[in-house]
Amino acid sequence: MAATMGPEDRNEKRGASETPPEPAGGAPTGPDYGSLIEYPKDAPAQTEQAAASDSRAVQDESVSIDQKLEAASTEPGVYLLRDRAGKVLYVGKAKSLRSRVRAYFREGGDGRYQVRFLMRRVRDFDTIVTASEKEALILENNLIKQYRPKYNIRLKDDKSYLSAKITNHAWPRITVTRKIVKDGGRYFGPFGSADGLRETIDVIRKVFPLRTCTDAVFRNRSRPCLEYQIKRCLGPCCLPVDRDEYGRHLHAAQMLLEGKNLELLREMRDLMKDHASRLEFEQAARIRDRVRAIEKTVERQTVLHHWGIDEDVFGIYREGGFIEAIVLIVRGGKLTSTQGWSFQDLEFPVHEILSDLLTQYYSGARNVPDEVIVPVELEDAAVRAELLSERRGKKCEVFQPQRGEKLRLLEMAMDNARQSFASRRDNEKTREQMLEDLRARLDLRNTPKRMECYDISNLQGSMVVGSQVTFDEGEPQKNLYRRYRIRSFEGQDDFASMYEVLKRRLERAVRENEYPDLWVIDGGKGQLNVALEVIREFKLADQIDCVSLAKQHVLNDRRAKEVTKSEERVFVPRRKDPIVLPRNSTALFLLVRIRDEAHRFAITYNRELRRRARLRSVLDDIDGVGPVRRRAMLRHFGSLKRIREATTDEIAAVKGLNRELAAEIRRHLDEMAALLDVEESADSADQAARPLASSAIPPDSAGARVNDTPAGE
C-alpha cells in the first residue's frame, strides 16, 4: 500500500522554513516574501538526500506490505494491525486471513468511516494462523486483553461489577465484593444489578444462619454476638456447631446465588415433610418460614416461560455512534437480573459489535446457559456455540429466533436496551459529547446549545406554511415550536417562503433578545444562501451558525429490486462541496432527527389548514348553513369524515338543524363525494410519506399536539 505523507512528514522532510537554493553569486532566484516567511540564511545541505531517503522508505514499506499480503495464509486465524511505531491498533479474526486483510488494504475495499480512519494510521500487520475458527476466537479474546487495542470495544472489567464470594475458611461466610482474587474463595457473578444482589444477600442472611463477621473478629470472640441471639448465626466462633448442618445452610445459600431457586425450594419442602413425618414439628416450622421468605423473593421475579431452561438474551439499540447493549439473564424460566453496557463513537456494524461483546462477556467466570439469543445473525454462531458447550460441559446454542416465545424474549431485550439508552441519553455528559461532535464535524464557531430547524410545506402552491422546531441541548422543546402562514405572496416559491419565515423569526428574536446558536435549513445550497442573506441583513453573521441538510435521493432505477440512495449531504457556508457525514455518526443522527421533526410539524399544520378549508368549502356552499351551524355540526360529529358517514336522521339530531336542512346537507355531500374522496386520499398519501426517522422523536413530542403560537406568528 502506498503510504501518503501528511503535512508533518513533509515539513520534517524539507524543513519548516526552507528556501530554494541560490545560484552562484548570491543573486536570489525570486522575490523575498519577508513579511510572510522567514528564510534561513543557510539551508540544510542534505535536504534532497533526506527526501530521496523518505521516498525510498515509503516505496519499501508498500512493497513489504504487498509481499506480506501475497504470503498471507488462506487458513483461519487472527490478524493484528499496527501503526508506524509497532503499536497494535486492531485485532480481528477471519476464516481466511489473506482475503480479510486484503480488504483493509485494497483501495475502496472497506467503505466504513471508522475503518478508513483506522487505515490512515496502519503501517504494518501480523497474522497468526490457528487450527480452527474456534481457536481463532479464543486467541482473539486473549490478544484483545493483552494489547487493549484502541479500535476494539472493551467491556468494563468485571471488578467494576459486584460479585458474591464464599470465603475459603473452615466456617465460610458470604460477602459482596468488586475484586476477584485467587485466594481460594468461590465467586458468583458478576451481577449487573447491585440492588438485586444485595437483596439476595439480605434474604440469605435472614433465612440461613451463616456467620457474617470478619475473620479477625471471628478469631477474637469470647462469647456469641447479637446475630446469634436473634437466631441469624449458629455461633461457630464460640459454640460447638454441627459442620454438616452448617454445610447444608451454605449449600442452600449457594443454590440461591446460582439462581436455582425452584430446585432449592423443592429440596427444602422435601426436608420439611421429612421432619414433619418424624414429628419434629419445630424444625419443620423453621424450614417452612425459610421457604416462605424465599418464595416472596421468587414471586418478584418475572416469569418469562415455564420450560425452565437457562438463557442469556442480548438486546442492542443504537443512535448514531452511541450504542446501548443489554443482556437479560434468565435462569429456570425466570428473569433473575440484567446487565448493560454503553459504547460511543463506534461506527462498526451491529454484528461486529455484538461479536466482540459475546467474546469478552463469556471470557470470564460466567455461568454458560442453555441458549444464547442474539438480535442479529452471526456467521460464526456455530463456532461460538461449540466453544461455549465445551466450557459448560453441556450443549449450548447461539441463534437468532424468528418466531414464538423466544422472539418475544428478544423483543423484550431490545426494548430494555432502548429504554436504558433513553435514560443514559438524558445524562448531561452524553448530550455535551453529541453537540461537541456536531460542532467539530461541521467546523462551527460554538457548540450549538440551541438549534432551530425550518421547513416549508405546501399543496400544489396553495396553503404554503413554514415550521420552526427548536432543540435545546439535543432535546426537542415543544413550547418553542412555531408555525407560519406565508403572507407576502401567492403561489409556490420555496426560496421566497423561506426568506419570509426566517426574517420574521429574527424580527421576533430582536424584540425578545433571544437568538439561536445554529440554524438547520431543510434543503440544499439555495436554501442555505437564503438563510445567510437574512442573517447578513440583521448583522448576525458572527452570532448564528447556519447549515442546510439535503434529503437523500434515489441513485438508480426505482423499479430495481434494491433501491440505492445517496448519502445525506450537509451544506455549510464558504464551502463549495457538501459535507457527507458517516452514516452511523451521532452528528448526522441529530441533524436528521431535527430535520424530520420540522418536516413532520410542517406537514401536520398544512394538513390541518386543508381540513379547515375543506370543511368550510363543503358546508358553506349549502343554503341555510352558516358559521354557527357549521361549528355545531363539527362539535357534534368531530370531523367532516363523520359528517359524511352520518344519515339524514343523525344530521337532523344536531342542535339548530331540521330534517329538511339535514336532507339538503346529505344531498350536497353525496354530490361532492368524488372530490372529497380524492382529497382524503391525498391526506393518506401524506401520512404514509412521513419519514421513518421521525420515529426517533420521543412519543410525547411526536404524538402530542404542540401548543403553538397563532398561525399569524
Residues 583-589: what's their mean pLDDT?
83
**Cβ atoms < 10 Å from Cβ of 64:** 13
pLDDT tier at 564, thresholds 50, 70, 90: low
| Cα–Cα distance, 176 to 191 (Å, whole number) | 10
Closest CA to 441 of 617, 611, 291, 568: 568
Q: What is the pLDDT of residue 285?
A: 86
Using CA atoms in the order 158, 159, 160, 166, what is the torsion angle rounded to 10 degrees?
Answer: 100
Q: What is the pLDDT of residue 709?
A: 41
| Cα–Cα distance, 249 to 187 (Å, whole number) | 17
Residues 24-48: what's their mean pLDDT?
40
> Identity (one letter) of the amino acid at 636?
H
The sheet with strand 77-82 has its strands ordered as: 88-94, 77-82, 124-129
Domains and CATH numbers, the chain: 1-19+43-59 (no CATH), 72-147 (3.40.1440.10), 158-303 (no CATH), 311-425 (3.30.420.10), 434-599 (3.30.420.340), 603-702 (1.10.150.20)
pLDDT at 525 over 70: yes
Q: Which residues of 588-611 are buried (b: 16+ CB within 10 A; e: fewer)?
A: bbbbbbbbbbbbbbbbbbbbebbb
Residues 58-78: what's their mean pLDDT?
75
Lowest mean pLDDT among 324-328, 360-364, 406-410, 600-604: 360-364
Residue pair 457/465 in contact (Cβ under 8 Å)? The answer is yes
| Cα–Cα distance, 480 to 713 (Å, whole number) | 12
Q: What is the pLDDT of residue 26?
A: 42
**Cβ atoms < 10 Å from Cβ of 144:** 22
- 429 phi and psi, to 5 degrees? -65, -40
Residues 145-161: what's their mean pLDDT?
69
Kind of pairing between the strands at 124-129 and 77-82: antiparallel
| Cα–Cα distance, 71 to 17 (Å, whole number) | 43
Residue pair 455/606 in contact (Cβ under 8 Å)? The answer is no
pLDDT tier at 31, thresholds 50, 70, 90: very low
Q: How far is CA 89 from the centre of its chain?
A: 24
Closest CA to 169 of 203, 219, 232: 219
pLDDT at 632 over 90: no
Instruction: Give 28-39 as a 3 state SS string.
Output: CCCCCCCCCCCC
pLDDT tier at 562, thresholds 50, 70, 90: low
User: pLDDT higher for 651 or 261?
Assistant: 651
| Cα–Cα distance, 655 to 658 (Å, whole number) | 8
Q: What is the pLDDT of residue 475?
A: 85
| Cα–Cα distance, 469 to 475 (Å, whole number) | 11
Q: What is the pLDDT of residue 453?
A: 95
C-alpha grid cell, residue 328? 437479560
Residues 469-475: what's their mean pLDDT?
89
Lowest mean pLDDT among 304-308, 456-460, 612-616, 695-699: 695-699
pTM: 0.45
| Cα–Cα distance, 236 to 87 (Å, whole number) | 55
Closest CA to 324 of 398, 407, 430: 430
Residues 697-708: what's their mean pLDDT?
35
User: pLDDT higher for 471 or 25?
Assistant: 471
The sheet with strand 174-177 has its strands ordered as: 174-177, 162-166, 186-191
pLDDT at 699 over 50: no
The sheet with strand 397-399 has its strands ordered as: 302-303, 334-343, 322-331, 311-319, 371-373, 397-399
pLDDT tier at 501, thresholds 50, 70, 90: very high
Alpha-carbon Rg for the chain in angstroms: 36
Instruction: Give 168-186 as a 3 state SS string.
Output: CCCCCCEEEECCCCCCCCE
The most confident of 41-55, 393-407, 628-642, by mean pLDDT: 393-407
Q: What is the pLDDT of residue 191?
A: 67
Q: Tell me the longest C-alpha to C-alpha distance in the chain.
A: 122
Q: What is the pLDDT of residue 298?
A: 57
Residue pair 89/118 in contact (Cβ under 8 Å)? The answer is yes
Q: What is the pLDDT of residue 372?
A: 93
pLDDT at 553 over 70: no
Tell me which H or E stretch contains 476: strand 475-476
Question: What one-character DSSP code corresponds to residue 196?
Answer: H
Question: What one-character DSSP code corresponds to residue 565?
Answer: B
pLDDT tier at 451, thresholds 50, 70, 90: very high
pLDDT at 695 over 50: no
pLDDT > 90 fraction of the chain, expressed in percent and rounded: 12
| Cα–Cα distance, 677 to 675 (Å, whole number) | 5
Q: What is the pLDDT of residue 114?
A: 59
Residue pair 357/383 in contact (Cβ under 8 Å)? The answer is no
> Identity (one letter) of the amino acid at 582?
P
Lowest mean pLDDT among 337-341, 390-394, 589-593: 337-341
Q: Which residues share a beta bridge with 79?
A: 92, 127
Q: What is the pLDDT of residue 546?
A: 94
Residue pair 571/524 in contact (Cβ under 8 Å)? The answer is yes
pLDDT at 86 over 90: no
Q: What is the pLDDT of residue 25?
A: 41
Residues 585-601: what's their mean pLDDT?
89
pLDDT tier at 38, thresholds 50, 70, 90: very low
Q: How far is CA 580 from the centre of its chain?
A: 21
Tell me which H or E stretch contains 444: none
pLDDT digits (tens, 9 = 90+) for 249-272: 888 888 877 767 777 788 888 888
Residues 396-402: what's their mean pLDDT?
91
Q: What is the mean pLDDT of the chain?
A: 76
Residues 364-369: what's their mean pLDDT?
76
pLDDT > 70 fraction of the chain, expressed in percent and rounded: 73
| Cα–Cα distance, 393 to 60 (Å, whole number) | 51
Lowest mean pLDDT among 239-248, 425-434, 503-512: 425-434
pLDDT tier at 529, thresholds 50, 70, 90: very high
pLDDT tier at 575, thresholds 50, 70, 90: confident
- 623 phi and psi, to 5 degrees? -60, 130
Residues 309-316: what's their mean pLDDT?
89
Residues 301-327: what's their mean pLDDT?
77
- 557 phi and psi, to 5 degrees? -65, 125
pLDDT at 85 over 70: yes
